Structure 1
Amino acid sequence: MCLLELKNINKYYKISGSNKFHAIKDVNVSFNKGELVSIIGESGSGKSTLMNLIGGLDSNYSGELLVNGKDIGKLRKKELDKYRKSTVGFVFQSFNLISHLSILDNVTIAMTLSNVKKKARIKRAKEILSELGLENQINKKPSQLSGGQKQRVAIARALINNPEIIIADEPTGSLDSKTTMQVLEILRNIAEKGKLVIMVTHSEKVASCSSRVVKIADGKIISDDEIFKFENTYELENASSNQKRFKFFGIRGKNLGIISAVKLSLKNMKEKLTRNIFLSIGGSIGIMSVILMLSLGNGVKTYFNKTMNNYVNPLVIEANMPSDEDDETINLDVTTIQKPELNKQKSFEDADIQKLSQIENVSKIEKGYTSISIGSNSLNYDGKSSNLMRLSTISSNITESNLQEGSLPKEGEMLINKSVSDKLGGDVVGKKVTLNILLGQKVVKTELTVSGIENAGGDLSSIMKSAFLNYSDLEKIYLDNNSTLKPNVMYLDTTNEKYTPQIKGKVKELGYLGSSQDQMTSMFNEMINIVTYVLSAIAAISLVVSAIMIVVVMYISVVERTKEIGIIKAIGARRKDIRRIFVCEAFLIGVFSGVIGVVASYLIMKGINTMSNKLFNINLVIIRRVYAVFGLCVSIIISMLSGLLPANKAAKLDPVESLRRE
C-alpha cells in the first residue's frame, strides 16, 4: 500500500460571483516512503496548492487524498489538526520561524502543542539540532542566524514529532548555492531513512538531486519520472521504530495543556513587554478605583461604629418595647392638656422580663426607664435652670469611660451631661441641685447631688440636655408621690462579649427593639453602604474603558501575529489551542492588572491613612482582604471576557492565508 495517494483531485478557487478558477485538474499520483520527490513547475502552475492539500492546510477539494489508506478529506477538524501535528512536517521557503522565540522553543513548539513534558521535548529537540549542526545555537533568536541555519531550524521543527511525510516549499529559494547543497543533502538523508520528502520547487537544479521528479503545469501533472531509488532496506523496521518513538514521546492523543498555554503566552507577551506593561497599568486603574471606594466606605463605617461603641458597655444589651401606634391618642380636652412626653413607650411587664432573663448567656437583667420630653422636667441650681429633654436611669451600659468629670452616681446622686452643666454654670460637680419632674399634673421636686459630667461622644446626649439617676431613686420618687414606676427599657448583662450578637438577635426574635444607638448605627451603616456602592459603580465605569482597551490591543496583536498563527496551525494547532493561547494572554493581563491594582491600592491606603491620622487620628481607608480578592477576580474575568472575541478571530484564521501574510 502506498503511503500517499491522490485520486482524481480537483481544486477550484472562487473568483467572483459564479466564476471559478480550476487550480488542480484531475490529479492522480502516489508516493511511497523513502522517496525524495520534487514537484516542479512555474509560478501559478498549482504546485503550492497541491502542497497545501497534501499538508492538510486546505481541505476544500474533490477527489480522494489517501494517507496510509485513509482519506484525509473525510477527517474532522480535530483529526485534521492531529494529522498536521503528527503525520506531516512543513519546511517553508521563508523559514517561518517565530521571531520572539529562541531556536530551541521554535523547534519544540510542535511538541508543546502535543503537551509533551518539558524534559522530553528539550531532549528530543537537542538531539535533532545536534544532528543538524546547531547544538551551539539553541538559545539564539532567529534573527541571529544565517539563512542556511534558519532553514536547518525549520527542518528540525518539521522532524520534531517524527512525521512520516516532510513537505518542503521552495526549501532552497532563499539560500546561496553552497547552502542549497547542504540543505538538499539533509533532505536526502531524511528520505534515505525511510521518510517521504516532497519538495515543491521551480528549480531544475534542485529537482536533479531528487529521486523522483513530478512536473505540473496549469494544474495538471504532465510528467512523473523516477530518477533513481534509494537503497533503503529497513523501511518496515523504521516504521515500527517510528511508532515506538511516537509512543515514547506521547505525541498521539494529547493536546496543548493549560500550563503549557500559559507558559507560551508569557513568552509571546515578552515580545511586546512595554505595551503589555502599560496595558496592565491601564487595566489596574479601574480595579484600584473600585477597591479604594469600597475601602473608603469601610473606613468611614468602621470609624462611626467604633465611635458609637466606645460609649457603650459591650457586655450590656439594651432592649426596648416596640411602640404601639394604635394606642397613641390625642386628648383635646383643655382641662387635661399638659406638656407632651415624646416617648410613649410601652412598659415591660413581668412576663416580658421573665422572657428576657431566660435568654441563653444572659447573666443579669437590669430595669431601666427613659423619658424624653419638652419642658416637662428640669434642673435648678443657684438661681439657674435647665430643661431636661431626656431623663434616664443609670445602668451598667454607662461606665467610667463615659465620664468627662466626677464619678458614677450613688444613692441620692445624679449624672448630667455637658449641655446641662454649661446651662447651670459649669461648676456643679458635688453640688446639690433640684430635680423637677412632672408626674401626671403635678410637678415633684427632689434634691440630688451631681456626681459627675457625662462625655456623650457620638451619642444623642451630646445634643439633648440629659440627666441620669439610679432606678431605685426614681422609683422612690414615684412611690413617695403615690405613683408606680414601670420600666420601659431593660438592660441584659452577659459574661463575654462574644455572646452579645447572639443575645441581640434573640431580643429581636422575641419582638423587642434594640437600643436607639443600635438603630441609629444600623441606619447610618445602611446609608454609608448605599453611598459606597454608588461611588464604586461610578468608579467601575473605568473597567469598561479597560475592557475596550484590552479588546483593541488584542485585535492589533491578532493582526500583527497572523503569520505566526498560520505557522502554529500548520504544525498542528487546533482552533482550541489558538483560542487558548490568546485567552491565556488575556488571563495574564488580568492577573497583572489585578496585582498592580491591589498593590497600588495598599500603597495609596497607607498614604491617605498617614495624612488622616495626622489630621483626625483616624484610618480613613481600610482595605479588607475580600476587597483585594474581589478586585483580582474582577480584573481576570473582565480581561478574559474582553479577550474572547480577538481569540475567536485568531482561531478562525485560515492557515494558508495566514502564511501568505507578511
Structure 2
Amino acid sequence: MLKGIDLNFDLGEFVSILGESGGGKSTLMNIIGGLDRQFQGSVTIDGKRLNHNDEKAMDTYRRDTIGYIYQAYNLINHLTVLDNVLIPLDMTTLNKTERHERAMSLLKRVGLKDQAAKYPNQLSGGQKQRVAIARALASDPKVIIADEPTGALDAQNTEEVLQILDGIAQEGRLVITVTHSQSVADAGTRIVHLEDGKIDHDTTLRDAYAVSKKPRLKSKLLPASVAYRTAYKHFKYNFWRNSLIVLGTAIGLFAVMLFSGLGNGINGYINKQVNDMVNPQVVTVSRYQKTSKSAAGGQQAAQQQQAAAAQSTGTASPTTAATAKKATISDKNISQLKSLNHVTKVDKIYSASAVTAKYAGKSATISTLQNWTASATENTIKNGHQPKAGEIVIDKASVAKKFKKNYKSLIGKTITLSYKTLNQNNRMVTVKFKAKVAGITSSSNSMGMANDTYVNTKTFTDAMKKANVSTTATSAAVKVNTLDNVKSTTKQMNQLKTNGKRQFTAVSVESLIGTIQTYVSLATNILAAIAAISLVVSALMIIVTMYMSVSARTKEIGILRALGESKRDVRRLFISESLIIGVLSAAFATVVAFIGSAVTNHLLANIANYPFVQISASSVIVVFIIALIISLLAAMLPARSAARLNPIDALSAD
C-alpha cells in the first residue's frame, strides 16, 4: 500500500523505481498507467488532473500517453510479431500503409525485422522483450512504463534492453522502469527508492535528456474492422478446434435447409403432377346433393350420386334413371355459371368407361374416355395437338403403345371406339364412332395410373345422339380468368341458391393442393423442429466455447485494455469471433446442402425425373439469419463477461 507518495516526472527522464517486492512499485505504476483506480489522491498530466472514474477518458489516456513493457512480455500468442506491434497502431490516424511501415521500422530498430512473420512462441525471451518494446513505442506515447523489463533476461539481453530504453528517453519520452536490481536502476537518470509504500529517497544520477518538439501521432477509437480481422486471426490460429464447432453448428443449419428444400420439392412435385393432368384455373361443378343424417336420407343421396355417375358412364338401370335427372347440369345452370364474375368459359363434361379402341386388328381398353374441356391441360400432350372436330388424343402407355411400338406414327391415323350404355329408352346400346388421332398424351404421374384419352366434344356428342343416348351432362368445367380468383369463385359457386336451395358443389384443384400442402408443411415443420434441437445444442457449444475462450484469454484482455482498447472493443472482439463461426457454419451448411440436394435428386431420378429437394434463395437467407442470431445470442454473455474484467486482475492471470 502506498503512503503519502508525491512525485513529479519530466519528459526526457529515465526513472527507475527501485525497491523490494511488496514495496508498492507495481501499484504506483498501475496508478500512473491509468489501470488502478482504488486510491486516494490524484494524478496530473501537463497540468490536467486525470479522472480515474471516467472509463472513456482513461482509455483515451492509455492510447495517447502510455506504452507498457512487461517482465512476462505479455504478447498475444495467436498474433504474429508484426500483428502484435500493429495493435496500438490500429488506434492511430495512420493509414494502412503507414501503419505497416512504422511497425516494420520499429522491428528493425529492435533487430527483429526478419522475425515479423513469426509467432511469439517461436522467439527467445530476449526477442519477445524487444517485440514488447516495439509495441510500446508503436503509438508514439509520451510515457513508457517498463515493469521489471529485464527480470527474465540474461546479462547480454539485459544490457541491450537497457540501451534501448535509454535511447527511448533520449527521444524526449519519460521512461519509468520498475526494478529490484540496483544495477538496472543505475542505468537510468534518476532513482526513486520505495520501501513499505513510502519514498525512501529520490536521487538524480544525471540530467534528463532534451525534449523533442516533433509532433506525435494522434490516436482514435479502434475501428470495428480491426476486431473482425483479429477475431479471424484467432480463428485461424485455432483452426481445428474452431472447425469442430463450425461443423457441429453446420449440422443443425444443414438439417433446417434440407428439410425446407424437401418441403419445397414435394410441394412443387404435387403441384406439377396435378397441374400436368388438370388445369388449376378450372373448377369442376356438379349439382348439389343434400345428405341426410337418417339412413333413408343417406340411402337416397347415395342413389342420386350413383344415378348421376351411371348417366354419364352408361351403367344406369331403369330404377335410377328418374333420379339421375335431378343431378344433371342444365343449359340454365350453364348460363347461371357463365354469369359469375371472373368466369370466362363453361364446358359440359362427358365421360364413358370401359371404351374399346381398335386399330389395324389390335385393340386396347380405355378406362375412362372424356371430352376435351377447359379442365384438360396441353401439358399432357407430348406429341401432336389438342383434338379438333373428328379427332382424339390417346394415352401413350395404355393405348398408343399397344397399337404400335413406334407410337408417334399413329398421329393422323383413324381408330375406332365403342362402348355400351343405356339410351334414352333405358335400353342397352353400343355407341360407336371413328376419330383421327391428333396427338399422344402422357402424364408425368410416376405410378402410371393416369389414362389421358380425350375426344373432341362435338365428335363425342354426335356419336351419343346417333345412338339415342342423352347428352345431358352431370358436371361442368368452369374456367376462371386467373389462378388468384379460383378460391373466391369456387366459394361463390358453392353459395349460389335458387329459391333458398343450394345449387352446386364446386371443387377446385387449388383446394386439393392446399390440403396436401398443409400436410406436407406440417411434416416439414415437425422435421424442422427436430433440426432446431440440434441448433440449440450448437448455440450451447458456441456459448461454452466463448466462455472457455474468455477464460483462456484473460491475460490478452488485460493487455488490450492496457493498450487503450475499450470495453466495447473487447465485447466486439468476442462477438466477432462468434459471428465468424456463425457465418462459416451457415456457408458450410449451404454448400453441403446443395451438394446433398444434388446427390439426393440424382438418386431419386429413377423414381421420378423431378428435383425433390429444392433449396431456395430465401432458405439460404433464413439459414444465415438463424446462424447470426444464434452466434449473437451465444456471444453476448461471454463477451460482456470479458469486457467487465478488471485490467489489473486480467494482466495478473496465468
- Settle same-fold status: TM greater than 0.5: yes
8 A contact 2:487–2:511 mirrored in 1: no
Q: Look up the match of 2:229.
A: 263
SS at match of 1:59: coil
- Gapped runs of 5+ residues in structure 2? 309-326, 358-365, 400-413, 495-504
| Distance change in 2, residues 1:621/1:338 (3 Å) | closer
SS at match of 2:416: coil
Could you tell me how far apart the structure 1 residues matched to 2:302 and 2:607 are?
Answer: 49
Q: Look up the match of 2:416.
A: 430
Q: Aligned pair 1:538/2:530, yes or no?
A: yes
Q: Look up the match of 2:255.
A: 289
| Distance change in 2, residues 1:442/1:565 (3 Å) | same
1:575-590 equivalence runs, <5 A = 575-590=567-582
| Distance change in 2, residues 1:396/1:622 (3 Å) | same
Q: Look up the match of 1:424.
A: none
Q: TM-score, normalised to structure 2's length? A: 0.79
Select the residue among 515, 519, 522 that pairs with 1:523. Answer: 515
**Structure 1 residue 257: Cα displacement:** 1.9
| Distance change in 2, residues 1:473/1:616 (3 Å) | closer
SS at match of 1:29: coil
Q: Aligned pair 1:45/2:15, yes or no?
A: no
Could you tell me how far apart the structure 1 residues matched to 2:103 and 2:161 are?
Answer: 18
SS at match of 1:430: strand
The AA in structure 1 aligned to 2:653 is R
Q: Look up the match of 1:367.
A: 347
**Structure 1 residue 55: Cα displacement:** 0.8
Select the residue among 211, 217, 222 that pairs with 1:246. Answer: 217
| Distance change in 2, residues 1:209/1:307 (3 Å) | same
1:31-110 equivalence runs, <5 A = 31-110=9-88
Could you tell me how far apart the structure 2 residues matched to 1:149 and 1:522 are?
Answer: 72
| Distance change in 2, residues 1:634/1:563 (3 Å) | same
**Structure 1 residue 463: Cα displacement:** 9.1
Could you tell me how far apart the structure 2 residues matched to 1:182 and 1:28 are?
Answer: 32
8 A contact 1:37–1:211 mirrored in 2: yes
Q: Look up the match of 1:17.
A: none
The AA in structure 2 aligned to 1:221 is I
The AA in structure 1 aligned to 2:433 is T
Structure 1, 515-524 or 52-61: larger mean CA deviation? 515-524
SS at match of 1:433: strand
Q: Look up the match of 2:7.
A: 29
- Gapped runs of 5+ residues in structure 1? 1-22, 372-376, 383-387, 422-427, 495-499
The AA in structure 2 aligned to 1:312 is V
1:485-496 equivalence runs, <5 A = 485=472, 488-492=475-479
**Structure 1 residue 546: Cα displacement:** 1.0
Select the residue among 140, 158, 165 that pairs with 1:187. Answer: 165
Q: Look up the match of 2:124.
A: 146
The AA in structure 1 aligned to 2:24 is G
| Distance change in 2, residues 1:509/1:76 (3 Å) | farther
**Structure 1 residue 77: Cα displacement:** 0.9
SS at match of 1:540: helix
**Structure 1 residue 577: Cα displacement:** 0.7
| Distance change in 2, residues 1:646/1:322 (3 Å) | farther
Question: How many residues are aligned here?
Answer: 599
Q: Look up the match of 2:282.
A: 318
Q: Aligned pair 1:558/2:550, yes or no?
A: yes
Q: Deviations over 1:163-217 (max 9, x none)?
A: 1111110111112222222212221222222211111111111111222211112
Could you tell me how far apart the structure 1 residues matched to 2:82 and 2:180 are?
Answer: 31
**Structure 1 residue 131: Cα displacement:** 2.7
SS at match of 2:144: strand
The AA in structure 2 aligned to 1:256 is L
**Structure 1 residue 640: Cα displacement:** 2.5
Q: Look up the match of 1:196.
A: 174
Select the residue among 233, 238, 254 that pairs with 1:272. Answer: 238
SS at match of 1:198: strand
Q: Look up the match of 1:302.
A: 268
SS at match of 1:175: coil
Q: Look up the match of 2:90.
A: 112
**Structure 1 residue 100: Cα displacement:** 2.4
8 A contact 2:66–2:144 mirrored in 1: yes
SS at match of 2:3: strand
Q: Look up the match of 1:501.
A: 483
8 A contact 1:311–1:459 mirrored in 2: no
Could you tell me how far apart the structure 1 residues matched to 2:386 and 2:98 are?
Answer: 81
Could you tell me how far apart the structure 2 residues matched to 1:159 and 1:288 are?
Answer: 48
Could you tell me how far apart the structure 2 residues matched to 1:162 and 1:414 are?
Answer: 92
SS at match of 1:297: helix
Aligned-residue CA RMSD (Å): 4.3
The AA in structure 1 aligned to 2:561 is K
Select the residue among 450, 457, 479 that pairs with 1:470. Answer: 457
Could you tell me how far apart the structure 1 residues matched to 2:635 and 2:38 are?
Answer: 30
SS at match of 1:434: strand
Structure 1, 262-271 or 338-347: larger mean CA deviation? 338-347
**Structure 1 residue 258: Cα displacement:** 2.4
Could you tell me how far apart the structure 1 residues matched to 2:476 and 2:179 are?
Answer: 101
| Distance change in 2, residues 1:106/1:501 (3 Å) | same
Select the residue among 102, 111, 125 that pairs with 1:124. Answer: 102
Q: Look up the match of 1:224.
A: 202
The AA in structure 2 aligned to 1:656 is I
The AA in structure 2 aligned to 1:205 is S
The AA in structure 1 aligned to 2:229 is K
| Distance change in 2, residues 1:258/1:552 (3 Å) | same
Q: Aligned pair 1:177/2:155, yes or no?
A: yes
8 A contact 1:380–1:435 mirrored in 2: no
Identity of aligned residues (%): 34
Q: Look up the match of 2:311.
A: none
